Structure 1
Amino acid sequence: MTNYVFSLSLPTNWTSSTVFSSPHSGRDYTDSYFEKSNLSRNHLRSSEDAFVDELFSSAPESGAPLMAAVMPRAFIDLNRGADELDSAIIEDVKPTKGNPRTAAGLGVIPRVVSQGRAIQSGKISNHDALDRIAKYYEPYHQRLNGLLKQTTDAFGESLLIDCHSMPHTALDNISVRGGSRPDVIIGDRFGSACAPEIADQVEAAFRRQDFVVARNLPFAGAYILREYGRPTQRRNAVQVEIDRALYLNEASVTKNEQFDLIKRRIDRVVLELAKISQAPLKFAAE
């Protein structure tokens, strides 16, 4: 199933309580959006989690759903609260206090992409901002929330894998024990979004495929984990950040020669994550 908001791939044999979501891999940039931007196509795409939905595309074959955004992160950021409105890009909005992401231009309607590059000159109207939220943000979250509820009702629990990628430079000052640079950051908001034993299993699945893994630093998880991670209700959520340099030419936003190899390793991780909780199908796939 694909519409202008999201694509949803459901398994034929739904056996897992794991749900995969890629909220930043959307790449449906309209011509009018490019015309309004100050940036080149590649610069505009620099904050996109390019091809992450493809890296995790084996989820349905492993018995788990995969949901992915269609619209790009530079247009609407699904990993922010709907109230994270930036007065520097949206007209008639009061300045937000105490939210460093919004102050930096990374609200629900982004003002900048990576390296602080301004997306456009001037502001958009309050009407246009709210229209984006109503047309693209709210339907995505309504469907994701419904999917997780459906899964929890059927299996008694759910595990959301919130799939992302990170710039290689984000890891310049990060190392794990032994001094190795991490390939993957597992975020559980320091235990508030996921039961420790579940987060440990997610981390172990990546380690078994020879990824160097760190936990929570520099990325612990944002709105999606805060909203959907309810471990006391058996609704767990984990954010996965993959170093883009492993599979991507970041400057050109194209797959590098290692993409297929990395995808095969991710396929094996996905299979393990889907097996964290498996049970017979209790409802029909849509």
Structure 2
Amino acid sequence: MESQSPFFEVIRPEHQSLPLIFNSPHSGRVYPRPFLEAARLDARDIRRSEDLYVDELFAEVPAFGAPLQRAFFPRAFLDVNREPYELDPRMFSGALPAHVNATSMRVAGGLGTIPKVVAENMPIYEGPIDAAEGLARIERIYRPYHQSLKGLMQDTRRQFGYAVLVDCHSMPGTVSLGGRRARPDIIIGDRYGTSASGALAFAALSILEGMGFSTAYNKPYAGGFITEHYGHPASDTHALQIEISRRLYADEENFVKKPEFIAVKQALNVFIRAFAAEVVAFGGAQPMAAE
């Protein structure tokens, strides 16, 4: 079953049998024409912030009994893995609300709710964009997206007594890890132990390593706003971020799938099944939440 808006969709199983929700917020690749016309980047470079095909890597999730929410809009247009108002006033013509967070590290890096740059610090816009247009993106897309995700978490916790969100992303083939260049296959993040039980994070890492993947934990990607906002272990809601190296399955320069894409997707299906079993066992060892 699918519940759909023009901007994202939730693909639900016939019956949700797992206390799991999967989310792909950065794999959208529907670029609004007015946005492309206003951008200084060409149709190729503007894609450099995409989590390439991550929604397709996790497309089988509903068959296992868990919902999958995925964005249609691109991250370069709107980033829902940010606070609602992480905005750089220098980007806009017109007044912004007084409550904007203009001083976050993400805004400083040009990667706020309305991004200023794509990956590799390439500016998106020729000049300021209308503040009303930026705020409209937040009202029309950001808020409904998070209302939907919040609803999935609440429904899952109500049904099972706890909920586990897996926020799905991709990363460059080479990353900086402890001051050195490294090439981990997959990184699991839990905001340094604050967004999920350590048992869940270590279960995920153990499964992946047992499958032959090289892994890292929290560095350099510990999780963003979604992981932090939805992960509250004391309230029986847990959130993990998974980052998959694009070099495993995609040509990062040409934005196309490698032949290995199918094998990586199949491996992730094995991971999903094994991790789901760990999540169910974890719930059986925990006291049910009081309503």
**Length-normalised TM-score, structure 2:** 0.90
Secondary structure at 1:80 match in 2:
coil
Partner Cα separation in structure 2 for residue 275 and residue 10 of structure 1:
19
Aligned length, in residue pairs: 276
User: Which residue of structure 2 lines up, in the alignment, with residue 59 of structure 1?
Assistant: 61
Cα deviations by residue, 1:93-142 (Å, 9 ceiling, x for unpaired): 47955411101110000010010001111111111111000011000000
Partner Cα separation in structure 2 for residue 239 and residue 141 of structure 1:
16
8 A contact 1:15–1:278 mirrored in 2 = no
Unpaired runs of 5+ in structure 1? 280-286
8 A contact 1:186–1:203 mirrored in 2 = yes
User: Which residue of structure 1 lines up, in the alignment, with residue 136 of structure 2?
Assistant: 131
User: Which residue of structure 2 lines up, in the alignment, with residue 183 of structure 1?
Assistant: 185
Secondary structure at 2:48 match in 1:
helix
Partner Cα separation in structure 1 for residue 273 and residue 176 of structure 2:
27
The amino acid that maps onto 1:143 is S
Secondary structure at 1:21 match in 2:
strand
8 A contact 1:5–1:139 mirrored in 2 = no
Partner Cα separation in structure 2 for residue 208 and residue 169 of structure 1:
22
User: Which residue of structure 2 lines up, in the alignment, with residue 70 of structure 1?
Assistant: 72
Q: Does 1:86 align with 2:88?
A: yes
Partner Cα separation in structure 2 for residue 165 and residue 151 of structure 1:
25
The amino acid that maps onto 1:274 is A
Unpaired runs of 5+ in structure 2? 282-291
8 A contact 2:20–2:166 mirrored in 1 = yes
Cα deviations by residue, 1:255-278 (Å, 9 ceiling, x for unpaired): 012111111111111112222334
The Cα of 1:204 is off from its aligned counterpart by 1.8
The Cα of 1:205 is off from its aligned counterpart by 2.3
The Cα of 1:30 is off from its aligned counterpart by 2.0
The Cα of 1:78 is off from its aligned counterpart by 0.6
Q: Does 1:215 align with 2:226?
A: no
Partner Cα separation in structure 1 for residue 27 and residue 16 of structure 2:
24
Structure possessing the higher relative contact order (Cα contacts under 8 Å, 6 or more residues apart): 1
The Cα of 1:229 is off from its aligned counterpart by 0.4
1:132-211 correspondence to structure 2 within 5 Å: 132-171=137-176, 181-211=183-213
In structure 2, which of residues 245, 266, 269 is the aligned counterpart of residue 267 of structure 1?
Answer: 269
**Length-normalised TM-score, structure 1:** 0.91
Partner Cα separation in structure 1 for residue 182 and residue 34 of structure 2:
44
8 A contact 2:174–2:183 mirrored in 1 = no
User: Which residue of structure 2 lines up, in the alignment, with residue 282 of structure 1?
Assistant: none
Partner Cα separation in structure 2 for residue 180 and residue 103 of structure 1:
25
Partner Cα separation in structure 2 for residue 172 and residue 257 of structure 1:
28
1:272-283 correspondence to structure 2 within 5 Å: 272-278=274-280
1:102-121 correspondence to structure 2 within 5 Å: 102-121=107-126
Change (3 A) 1:171 1:245: farther
In structure 1, which of residues 9, 19, 33 is the aligned counterpart of residue 35 of structure 2?
Answer: 33
Partner Cα separation in structure 2 for residue 174 and residue 275 of structure 1:
36
User: Which residue of structure 2 lines up, in the alignment, with residue 233 of structure 1?
Assistant: 235
Partner Cα separation in structure 2 for residue 181 and residue 136 of structure 1:
34
The amino acid that maps onto 1:71 is F
Identity %: 38
Partner Cα separation in structure 1 for residue 201 and residue 165 of structure 2:
11
The Cα of 1:209 is off from its aligned counterpart by 2.1
| Structure with the higher strand share, 1 or 2 | 2
Secondary structure at 1:242 match in 2:
strand
Cα deviations by residue, 1:152-183 (Å, 9 ceiling, x for unpaired): 000000100000001123247677xxx97311
